[in-house]
Amino acid sequence: MTTLHYLVLAPFIMALLVPFIYKGFRHIHTGWFVLALPLILFIYLLSYLPIGGNTLNPEVMVVPWVPTLGINFAIYLDGLSLLFALLITGIGTLVVLYSIFYIANKKDEPLNNFYVYLMMFMGAMLGVVLSDNLMVIYVFWELTSLASALLIAYWFHKEKSRYGAQKSMLITVTGGFAMLAGFCLLYIITGSFSIQEIIAYFGQIDLTSEVLVIPAMLLILLGAFTKSAQFPFHIWLPDAMEAPTPVSAYLHSATMVKAGIYLVARFTPVFGGLPEWFWIITSFGLLTLIWGSISAVRQTDLKGILAFSTISQLGLIMALFGLGSASFIDNIAEVAIIAAIFHLINHATFKGSLFMVVGIVDHETGTRDIRKLGGLMSIMPITFTISIIGIASMAGLPPFNGFLSKEMFFTGVLDVASLNIFNIQTWGFLFPIVAWIASVFTFVYCMIMFFRTFTGKYQPEKLEKEAHEAPIGLLISPIVLASLVVIFGLFPNLLSYSMIEPALHAVLPYTVGLDNYINIYHWHGLNTELFMTIGVVLFGSLVFINLKRWQESTFFLHERDPLNRLYDGGLDGLVAGSQRVTNVQLTGLLRDYFVYMMVFMLILLGWTFFRYDAMQFNFTNVSEISPYLWIITLVLMATTISIPFIQHRVTSIIAVGVIGFLIALLFVVFRAPDLALTQLLVETVMVVLFLLCFYHLPELRKEKFKPKFRFTNLVISIGMGAIVTLLGFSAHAARHSLNFSPISQYFVENSKPLAGGYNMVNVILVDFRGLDTLLEVLVLGVAALGIVALIKLKMKEGQDV
């Protein structure tokens, strides 16, 4: 494996070591040991940046995993994956440092769990952005959902934490299943799981010629939208704010929520020329942008404001990638992709710092409720300074980096709205209008955060603790991010050649016009974008001044998103429906379970016979049946028929055992001693166990019962016997009429050469179907661990499991 493979696996290795570190060094915060890993990974990734005249040449490194299925652990490093990997490791380093001071090293605080989950998530995110194989991406993709849910539910004693974790898990995993289906359709079209091979394939064909392209695109977008909290799947993100603030700063501002954006960017070279791709991503992005910005104004919790702010900003970036996909037709839309990449970086800096600031306010005052806060400017001056930088950048004010990418956003929507492709002339005029309105509400919620938290009257009686400035340990990480906000705002072209251009080439590999150096600067003259910004500030200030009138409306009286009613109602209906189905299915009667299985098999086999006209009869080449076989068969039939008429349970057990021994005798006659031995052992153990059970159940030992006749039993039994008999006849006939060679011949010929064994049954179990056997053993192992955990679990009286 290469260094980059180990880079992806390193966080998982650290996750395995964390429990031992936690137990061995209880007096030292576990975070200090974890901190070194993301820092080392970040420094190593910096070496790939094209600085000093160097260029970033994409690299592909492949380690075979399941090569026969085309599944390989392939690492692909280009400008896009490098950008995301730097965000994951860089922000991850700051988050770990922040968490050391945010989460106290207490005996009742499971720090080992926190850092195990955090490292799992970091490794999974690196796997998503660096993998080239679709199946490997899917594995890491779902692992991010799992690790995210565990982090959200870190304080599992809180009901809201468990609810938020469940909601994020259900929505994102469902989207992941849809994405997997889309990946499978792409494999059907191209015959490859490699993203780069898929891009090359689609670059040589007419997309409209493949009927599966649109379904694959829709399924992949469903996965991207659920992960990146796009409308209407955004409802999981506000509830995820129950996670510790370091988790929110990492997952919900810089990494996990941007996984869907990464997916859209990565597949833009595949679907970018389709009008459906353009309209779906642009429409949902703009709708998410304006819905999130309006909803943020309704919140009274600082993290709630940031949650909907994040939703809005994710919609902005998603819309930019949608608008920029028009570059495959007209390269004037390239500015939208540039703005998307630039704002991706900017958002991670200012939103990460703001999440950490909110955590500081909560940590030092005991509340995040803006109705209780106020007057913290003089009490927490450093926190106030960091906040004003982050809020100004988020509001799009100069000279910070958010202003630059917001101006580019306005340029992008104006440029694309003027194009004469994809029927943009019909609805394209709405692009700048929606963008401007959303920017107004963005400015408003930024003002709410700033003025309601740091200005006004200090209200110590409403706070859980006396407010004071945070310790330096909590301030380092947000100071670093706020400094980057200022640096990237004053010197934006530090990113132009090193990060933005390589990522742009990865998103738009086939377009022209990319050879020009990207030059980002503040002053563009008196243009439309500047007047839009001035209008945002003026109108946003007017709305903020009259905010009380707005907040008296019904819409603004409810903090909770109204779409949550659909989710909660749907989940309740799903639970109720599943309970009804379960009550029908799981009756506790073995007979009913057999009825369900047999009816299903009858329907399936009967439909197959009818659909494919598979019923055949050919009694040529049938072996002669010897007299002793007739005797064994007749005894077997007589014993089987007698069972329903036996009125003693012990006698029934013995009769069933006799049937098993007779079948073992048949195996002996047909020269299968290994099967006969297995059958004898199984039947002996089963009969003995049943008899022992009845021996230790005295109230049942002498019980007599009279079985009831059921007509349905008779019909199902006759039908099952008939269908299996017909199946045997048809298989025999097909073998001779179609000249099929039996599959057993393959194992006869290959057991010794390929597996080194003469016992075909053992060889099949261990080698030819070894993966299946391994999974069976794994299931048994998981069940054993569950049993051990239940045995060792010491419950207090009255405590629920």
The pLDDT tens digits for 87-136 are: 999 999 999 999 999 998 777 788 899 999 999 999 999 999 999 999 99
Residue 635 counted as domain residue = yes
Within 13 Å of residue 314, how many CA atoms lie on the same side as its CB? Answer: 34
Within 13 Å of residue 558, how many CA atoms lie on the same side as its CB? Answer: 8
Whole-model pTM over 0.75: yes
Residue 513's pLDDT is what? 47
Residue 261 counted as domain residue = no
Buried b (16+ CB within 10 A) or exposed e, 129-142: bbbbbbbbbbbbbb
Residue 521: band (very low, low, confident or very high) from pLDDT cuts 50, 70, 90: confident
Query: Range with the lowest mean pLDDT among 199-213, 228-242, 731-745?
Result: 731-745
For residue 23, give Cα distances in angstroms to 28, 40, 154, 233.
10, 24, 19, 40
Residue 367 counted as domain residue = yes
Residue type, 770: G
For residues 548 and 566, membership in a common domain is answered with no
pLDDT in tens, 339-359: 999 999 999 999 999 999 999
Residue 15 counted as domain residue = no
Residue 774 counted as domain residue = yes
Query: Range with the lowest mean pLDDT among 580-584, 622-626, 752-756?
Result: 622-626
Residue type, 640: T
Q: What's the DSSP call for residue 702? A: T
Inform me whether the pLDDT recorded for 623 exceeds 80: no
**Structure-token pair, residue 199:** 């891009």
For residues 391 and 403, membership in a common domain is answered with yes
For residues 575 and 527, membership in a common domain is answered with no
Q: Which residue has the tokens 């990207």?
A: 518
Q: How many CB atoms within 10 Å of residue 493?
A: 14
Q: Please tell me the distance from the alpha carbon of residue 74 to that of residue 14, in angstroms, as a whole number.
A: 22
Residue type, 574: L
For residues 456 and 569, membership in a common domain is answered with no
Residue 516's pLDDT is what? 52
CB 500 within 8 A of CB 342: yes
Q: Which residue has the tokens 């001035």?
A: 534
For residues 492 and 362, membership in a common domain is answered with yes
Query: Range with the lowest mean pLDDT among 326-340, 378-392, 466-480?
Result: 326-340
183-187, 545-549, 688-692: which is most confident? 183-187
Inform me whether the pLDDT recorded for 519 exceeds 50: yes
Q: Please tell me the distance from the alpha carbon of residue 402 to that of residue 486, in angstroms, as a whole number.
A: 10
pLDDT in tens, 129-176: 999 999 999 999 999 999 999 999 998 888 999 999 999 999 999 999
Inform me whether the pLDDT recorded for 796 exceeds 80: no
CB 111 within 8 A of CB 96: no
pLDDT in tens, 647-675: 777 888 889 899 999 999 888 888 888 78
Q: Please tell me the distance from the alpha carbon of residue 440 to that of residue 438, in angstroms, as a whole number.
A: 5
Q: Which residue has the tokens 């020269």?
A: 671
Q: Please tell me the distance from the alpha carbon of residue 6 to that of residue 9, in angstroms, as a whole number.
A: 5
**Structure-token pair, residue 87:** 């965000």
Residue 755's pLDDT is what? 85
**In which element (H, E) is residue 232 found?**
none
**Structure-token pair, residue 786:** 């569950």
Inform me whether the pLDDT recorded for 362 exceeds 90: yes
Inform me whether the pLDDT recorded for 688 exceeds 80: yes
Inform me whether the pLDDT recorded for 216 exceeds 50: yes
User: Average pLDDT for residues 71-96, to the nearest whole number?
Assistant: 95
Q: What's the DSSP call for residue 71? A: E
Number of domains in the chain: 4
CB 658 within 8 A of CB 680: no
Print the SS3 string covering 507-575: HCCCCCCCCCCCCCCCCCCCCHHHHHHHHHHHHHHHHHHCHHHHHCCHHHHCCCCCCHHHHHHHHHHHH
For residues 454 and 580, membership in a common domain is answered with no
Give the structural domain span for 790. Answer: 748-794
For residues 566 and 681, membership in a common domain is answered with no
Q: Please tell me the distance from the alpha carbon of residue 25 to that of residue 14, in angstroms, as a whole number.
A: 15
Q: How many CB atoms within 10 Å of residue 375?
A: 16
Sign, Cα dihedral of 10, 13, 18, 23: negative
User: Average pLDDT for residues 447-475, to the nearest whole number?
Assistant: 91
Which stretches within 26-133 are classed as H helix? 30-46, 79-102, 111-130
CB 361 within 8 A of CB 302: yes
3-state DSSP call for residue 66? strand
Inform me whether the pLDDT recorded for 769 exceeds 60: yes
Which residue, 94, 53, 73, is CA-closest to 6?
A: 73
Q: Which residue has the tokens 């990974």?
A: 41
Strands (E), 512-587: none
For residues 414 and 528, membership in a common domain is answered with yes
**In which element (H, E) is residue 193 found?**
none
Residue 797's pLDDT is what? 47
Domain edge (last residue) among 531, 552, 573: 552
Inform me whether the pLDDT recorded for 552 exceeds 80: no
3-state DSSP call for residue 796? coil
Residue 323: band (very low, low, confident or very high) from pLDDT cuts 50, 70, 90: very high
CB 394 within 8 A of CB 350: yes
Q: Please tell me the distance from the alpha carbon of residue 633 to that of residue 637, in angstroms, as a whole number.
A: 6
Q: Which residue has the tokens 């742009």?
A: 504
For residues 634 and 781, membership in a common domain is answered with no
Which residue, 453, 423, 170, 75, is CA-closest to 282?
A: 423
User: Average pLDDT for residues 515-542, to the nearest whole number?
Assistant: 87
Inform me whether the pLDDT recorded for 708 exceeds 70: no
50: left (phi over 0), alpha (psi -120 to 50) or beta: beta
For residue 224, give Cα distances in angstroms to 198, 293, 312, 348.
18, 20, 15, 19
Residue type, 169: M
Q: How many CB atoms within 10 Å of residue 768?
A: 17
Which residue, 454, 383, 442, 381, is CA-closest to 410?
A: 442
51: left (phi over 0), alpha (psi -120 to 50) or beta: beta
Residue 274 counted as domain residue = no
The answer to whether the bond into 232 is cis (omega within 30° of 0) is yes
Mean pLDDT for the chain overall: 89
Residue 53's pLDDT is what? 64
Higher confidence at residue 75 or residue 548?
75
For residues 487 and 624, membership in a common domain is answered with no
For residues 544 and 618, membership in a common domain is answered with no
Inform me whether the pLDDT recorded for 585 exceeds 90: no
For residue 27, give Cα distances in angstroms to 21, 32, 106, 107, 183.
11, 11, 10, 10, 48
Residue 208 counted as domain residue = no
Q: Please tell me the distance from the alpha carbon of residue 561 to that of residue 298, in angstroms, as a whole number.
A: 9
pLDDT in tens, 3-54: 999 999 999 999 999 999 999 888 899 999 999 999 999 999 999 998 766 7
**Structure-token pair, residue 229:** 């909290």
For residues 602 and 457, membership in a common domain is answered with no
Residue 699's pLDDT is what? 57
Residue type, 375: G
Residue 444 counted as domain residue = yes
